[in-house]
Amino acid sequence: MSSFLIHPLTLRLVSVVIAFGTWEYLGRIPISPAFPTFLETMSALWGMLMDGSMISVYPATFQPLLIGLIISSILGIACGVFMGLNHKAEWFGAPVFIVLQSAPLAALIPLLTFAYGIGLTSKIITVCIMSMPVIVLNAYTAVRHTPTSMIEMGESYLGSRRQIIMKIIIPAASPIIYAGLRLGAAMGFIGAILAELLITPTGIGDLITYNQSIAEYDKMYAAIFSIMVFAVLFIEILERTEYIFFRPDKRVTQ
């Protein structure tokens, strides 16, 4: 019985009930006229899902997000791996990305709108600048820190440079590269929503700001709730794909 009580799933359920219960309670006090209860939010979510008003906005959010993420994944991994393999590229490129990773790059958004207007391009670039530094730095450090004995193993068995890179360095680095992709995707979501709130209201950002402006707070909360759930699911799926496609050793035991 006690093992059932501390089972991860039981506890997860308990904590979800507590969290949503608290939300419901705070909404009923109410702590603010702009704070709907959990049940109001859920019914608004249901209504928006049913009348299609929620599903119809997602493509607009997804377009810059996906394009941006694909660009920064390909470009970012390529840059990072190259910097990890080549000392000159490392010297030249790594400091820039180290600075960029700690920098609040969101501050570039006003500049981007200024240069590229309020269209898709600005939003794609926003997603890219938010997600790329972490992808590059993860790929770079992962490649740079391949265990020496693994590389020596490849050399002693007469692997060519190309074989050592393709069969040893990249596979050894792939878990950390993948972790970078997950972090990058999370940053990309932050960037995509920020772009929609800041540049022009489209997609889910439009749903949030519009309902905020007409004081339909339950719908506003429902929109926010949906994008949070969506982002978390997206990243969860990304994590699963790693196990399925790249880590046969992990897949066997899980």
Partner 1 sequence: MKIFGIKIPMMASLILWAILWEIVGQLELSILLPPFSHILIRMVEIVPTATFMNALWITAKCFLIGTAIAIVVGIPIGVLMGRSIVIDRMLLPWVNMFLSAPLTALVPVLMTLFGFGTKTIILTTVLFAIWIIVLDARAGVKNITPSLVEMTKSFQANFWQAFTKVYLWAAMPEILAGIRLGCIRSIKGVIIGQLLVSVVGFGRLFELYSANFLMEHMWALLFVLFFFAFLIAEGLGVLERKFEYYAASRN
Partner 2 sequence: MSAAAETVSDNAQQIAVEVDNVTKIYPGGVEALNDMTIHFPKGELTSLLGPSGCGKTTLLKIIAGLLKPTAGKVKVNGVDVTGPGKERAFVFQDFALMPWASVIRNAAFGLELQGMNKSEREAIAEKYIDIVGLKGYENLYPHELSGGMRQRVGLARALAVNAEVLLMDEPFSAVDEQTRRKFQEDILEVVDDEQKTFIFVTHSIEEAVYVSQSIALLLPRPSRVSEIIRPDIRRDISPDAIRRDPVYLDIVERIWQGLRTYVE
Q: Does 85 bind partner 1 (CB under 8 A)?
A: no
Q: Judged by CB under 8 A, which of 105, 128, 137, 142 binds partner 1?
A: 105
Rounded (5°) CA angle 138-142-144: 120
Please state the closest distance from residue 115 (CB atom) to partner 2, in A. 43
- Let me know: does 126 contact 190? Beta carbons within 8 Å: no
Binders of partner 2 among 110-149, rule CB under 8 A?
Answer: 147, 149
Other C-beta atoms lying within 10 Å of the C-beta of residue 239 = 14
Residue number, 43 or 212, with CB nearest to partner 1: 212
H helices of the chain, in order, are: 2-5, 8-28, 38-50, 58-85, 87-102, 109-116, 120-144, 148-156, 161-163, 170-198, 203-213, 217-245, 248-253
Residue number, 55 or 232, with CB nearest to partner 1: 232
Three-class secondary structure of residue 229 per DSSP: helix
Comparing CA positions, the residue from 160, 184, 192 lying closest to residue 64 is: 192
113 binds, among partner 1, partner 2, none (CB under 5 to 8 A by kind): partner 1
Binding mask 143-182 for partner 1 (x = CB under 8 A): ---------------------------------------x
Please state the closest distance from residue 167 (CB atom) to partner 1, in A. 28
Q: Does 15 bind partner 1 (CB under 8 A)?
A: yes
52 binds, among partner 2, partner 1, none (CB under 5 to 8 A by kind): none
Q: Judged by CB under 8 A, which of 75, 98, 172, 190 binds partner 2?
A: 172
- Let me know: does 45 contact 222? Beta carbons within 8 Å: yes
Number of residues that bind partner 1 (CB under 8 A): 60
- Let me know: does 184 contact 69? Beta carbons within 8 Å: yes
User: Which segment (40-48, 67-75, 104-112, 243-251) binds partner 1 by CB under 8 A?
Assistant: 104-112
**247 secondary structure, DSSP code:** -
How far apart CA 75 and CA 93 sit, in angstroms, is 13
Q: Does 75 bind partner 1 (CB under 8 A)?
A: no
What the block records as the tokens of 29 is: 């006090």
First-to-last CA distance in the chain?
A: 26
How far apart CA 55 and CA 63 sit, in angstroms, is 14
What the block records as the tokens of 31 is: 């702590």
Q: Does 208 bind partner 1 (CB under 8 A)?
A: yes
Interaction site with partner 2 (CB under 8 A): 147, 149-150, 152-160, 163, 167-168, 171-172, 174, 246-249, 252-253
User: Rule CB under 8 A: which residues touch partner 1?
Assistant: 6, 8, 11-12, 14-15, 18-19, 31-32, 34-35, 87-88, 90-96, 99, 101-111, 113-115, 182-183, 185-186, 189-190, 192-194, 197-198, 204, 208-209, 212, 217, 220-221, 224, 227-228, 231-232, 235
